[in-house]
Amino acid sequence: MATFAQTFLRIYDRKILSGEITFSTSGINKNNFTRLCIDPEYVMPLEEILTVCEKMHLTEEEKESLLSFVKE
């Protein structure tokens, strides 16, 4: 099963490569991005996930895939 980081970075990379977004417009905090890259267990806080979903213009399916990692 994919981790949050793998799921997020797959979406992020596609959006960056297509030119849809830049890092500065993605809404992600630099420290959290670094944690995604070095900590396979890390999941961004819910509020940041929601911000990123909005700023990156994610589809409902992409948003749900990221939110599925949030623990209640």
Residue 43: C-alpha distances to residues 17, 18, 29 (Å)? 23, 25, 13
Give the residue-averaged pLDDT of 2-14: 96
Structure-block tokens of residue 6: 């793998």
> In this predicted structure, what is the pLDDT of residue 72?
65
Q: Cα–Cα distance between 55 and 49 in angstroms, integer?
A: 10
State mean pLDDT over 51-61: 96
Average pLDDT of the segment spanning 30-56: 94
Model-level pTM greater than 0.85?
yes
